[in-house]
Amino acid sequence: MIKKSTHAPAKPLLILGIDPGLADTGFGLIEKNGQKLKFITCGTFKTKAKTDFNERLKQIHQQLNDLIKKFKPGVVAIEQLFFCKNVKTALQVGQARGVCLLTVQQHQLPCYEYTPLQIKQALTGYGRAEKKQICQMVKILLNIKELPKSDDATDALAIAITCDHFLGNKIYHAI
């Protein structure tokens, strides 16, 4: 006699990846269902260079807030600011990243951060992988024919996949 399992199947988990930036903040949303990953959507939040700096941060907040309300992800992953040659750019990206983190926390979502090295390693097994290799793995793992036109959106999908990898291995890097 075969017994029926009393455990309900795991609910699909929506993972939102964010690649923070001031001009372009990339986002990528994937669904984890069992062992399968599924592409949901991706894109960028764009702000104009001639717009007041604080207004640009507000626009990033509003767009991310709207995205979270619309899709209701279960977890968020964001790229950790690792290295930047230009100090002014690093400060601006850091502030945009801070706005993203605050927006996520306002929704009380678990948020994880990953360095570029961790992202490369999770997707390719090699921490110094080239951009082309990362892009190829995003296509393969999400079973998509074409990559997004935006590098920032592709990076955000890679960040979401990295989160799945680490959560699947029970290695947490919560903020």
What's the pLDDT band for 172 if we cut at 50, 70, 90? very low
Residue 80 CB coordination number (10 Å): 18
Check if 79 is active-site.
Answer: yes
pLDDT of residue 2: 53
pLDDT of residue 90: 84
What's the pLDDT band for 8 if we cut at 50, 70, 90? low
Check if 152 is active-site.
Answer: yes
What tokens were used for 152?
A: 């920032």
Distance between CA atoms of residues 112 and 92, nearest Å: 21
Select which of 31, 113, 152, 155 is catalytic.
152
pLDDT of residue 142: 97
Give the three-state DSSP class for 79: strand
pLDDT of residue 82: 67
Q: pLDDT tens digits, residue range 128-138?
A: 899 999 999 99
pLDDT, the chain, mean? 90
Q: Using the structure block, give the residue that is written with the tokens 């640009």.
A: 56
Select which of 24, 31, 79, 164 is catalytic.
79
Q: pLDDT tens digits, residue range 40-96?
A: 999 999 999 999 999 999 999 999 999 999 999 999 999 997 666 778 788 899 999
pLDDT of residue 174: 44
Select which of 19, 24, 113, 164 is catalytic.
19
What's the pLDDT band for 171 if we cut at 50, 70, 90? very low
CB 111, CB 175: distance < 8 Å: yes
Q: Using the structure block, give the residue that is written with the tokens 């959507």.
A: 41
Pick the residue with more confidence: 87 or 167?
167
Strand partners, 77: 17, 112
pLDDT of residue 66: 98
Check if 24 is active-site.
Answer: no
